[in-house]
Amino acid sequence: MSETNRPYNEIDDYIATFSTEEHQEYSVAETALDLASMLYHIRHTHGLTQRGAASRTGLKQQAISRLEQAASNMQLGTFNATSVLWDIISRSV
């Protein structure tokens, strides 16, 4: 849908009032939710439990759960482990 045909949305108006810092925080949160959703769907598509995903990445099951809920700030090591999971899954299909 083109930008001109987009329906009116009060949330967009609200977001337009954000300061630069608020826009950055919103962007980080949005990215975290996108990554959480992708991880969850990839794991489910390939029939892995959180425990199975954790064992393949070297993370704890609780870490996978937090990542899927976007409930934690992802550290670089966790991101690397998650990247390994995506790579393992994509090669195993």
Instruction: Please say if the pLDDT value at position 3 is more than 90.
Output: no
The pTM of the whole model exceeds 0.85: no
pLDDT score at 31? 83
Mean pLDDT of the chain: 79
Residue with tokens 């630069």: 20
Cβ within 8 Å of residue 57, ≥6 positions away: 64, 81, 82, 84, 85
**pLDDT tens-digit readout, 43-82:** 898 899 999 988 887 888 998 888 888 766 666 556 666 6
Mean pLDDT of 15-40: 88
Domains, the chain, ordered by start: 3-92 (1.10.260.40)
